């Protein structure tokens, strides 16, 4: 059984996802081919090996960026040698504690998978192997692929460590769970609604061309501003 689905976004970008995983933790995985270095943004649940699905030329580096430490974004991070992630959770990648990744939520999730990845597989046995970071990312850092550069943006709210990658030259934006075109989650134990509102205010002014989020379909700048403004209205009403 093919665990991953793949779709070509353009001649340099592939999106992977795990169609048999519960929609709550079915995240997008993005592979962007650069001139000198390839970029992989997030790594899914880690239920089946991801590395064999990522096609890169022999000898070409592949930098894997975790946008935050939640289970649906770091499950296969350990499979790759070049691992980058946010400063705010950097030390926690060494252990991938269930309480930090929320892996424990998957153990009891009804309908965790719609097809078993292997005979006898059980969600209760799900664990995320440690994946110590080889590079720590801060706000303002630059990831250089040779022909394009991404600025790291720290955009907390969904989680305290949420980061995104923004190509200021052409407006390409990998947003992780900072913003995406689906139901935004701000009720996790480490979510911060006030921080999320500040993130949304910041995103209102970000001149993106196309955004590839951690969940849901891709979006343009107009749609991103609609999502951000909607969140600000909703939470403003809730706080009133």
Please report, for the domain that includes residue 191, its CATH number: 3.60.15.10
pLDDT at residue 216 tops 90: yes
Does residue 148 surpass a pLDDT of 60? yes
Q: Which residue has the higher pLDDT, 236 or 221?
A: 221
> Which residue segment(s) compose the domain that 146 sits in?
5-239
Q: Supply the pLDDT for residue 240.
A: 45
User: Cα separation of 60 and 57, whole Å?
Assistant: 6
Angle of helix 193-203 relative to helix 221-239, nearest 10 degrees, comes to 150
Taking 80 as the threshold, does the pLDDT of residue 111 lie above it? yes
pTM above 0.75, yes or no: yes
SS3 state at 143: strand
The Cα 65–Cα 29 span in angstroms is 10
Assess whether pLDDT exceeds 70 at residue 48: yes
Instruction: Give the end-to-end CA distance of the chain in Å, rounded to a whole number.
Output: 50
**Per-residue pLDDT at 238:** 61
- Name residue, tokens 């809730």: 238
Given the structure tokens 């209102």, which residue do they identify? 204
74: confidence class by pLDDT, cuts 50, 70, 90 = very high
Q: How many domains does the chain have?
A: 1
1: pLDDT strictly greater than 80: no
């Amino acid at each position: 059984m093919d665990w991953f689905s793949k779709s070509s976004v353009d001649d340099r970008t592939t999106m992977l996802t795990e169609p048999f995983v519960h929609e709550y933790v079915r995240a997008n995985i993005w592979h962007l081919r650069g001139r000198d270095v390839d970029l992989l943004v997030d790594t899914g649940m880690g239920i089946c090996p991801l590395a064999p699905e990522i096609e890169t030329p022999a000898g070409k580096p592949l930098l894997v960026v975790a946008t935050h430490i939640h289970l649906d974004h770091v499950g296969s991070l350990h499979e790759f040698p070049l691992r980058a992630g946010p400063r705010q959770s950097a030390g926690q990648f060494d252990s991938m504690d269930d309480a930090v990744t929320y892996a424990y939520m998957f153990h009891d999730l009804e309908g965790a998978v719609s097809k078993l990845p292997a005979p006898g597989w059980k969600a209760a046995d799900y664990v995320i192997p440690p994946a110590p970071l080889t590079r720590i990312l801060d706000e303002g850092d630059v990831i250089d692929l040779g022909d394009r550069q991404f600025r790291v943006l720290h955009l907390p709210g969904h989680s305290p460590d949420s980061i995104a990658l923004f190509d200021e030259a052409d407006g390409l934006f990998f947003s992780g769970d900072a913003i995406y075109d689906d139901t935004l989650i701000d009720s996790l134990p480490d979510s911060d609604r006030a921080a999320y509102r500040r993130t949304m205010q910041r995103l209102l002014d970000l001149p993106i061309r196309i955004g590839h989020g951690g969940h849901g379909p891709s979006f343009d700048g107009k749609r991103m501003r609609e999502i951000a403004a909607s969140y600000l209205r909703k939470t403003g009403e809730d706080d009133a």
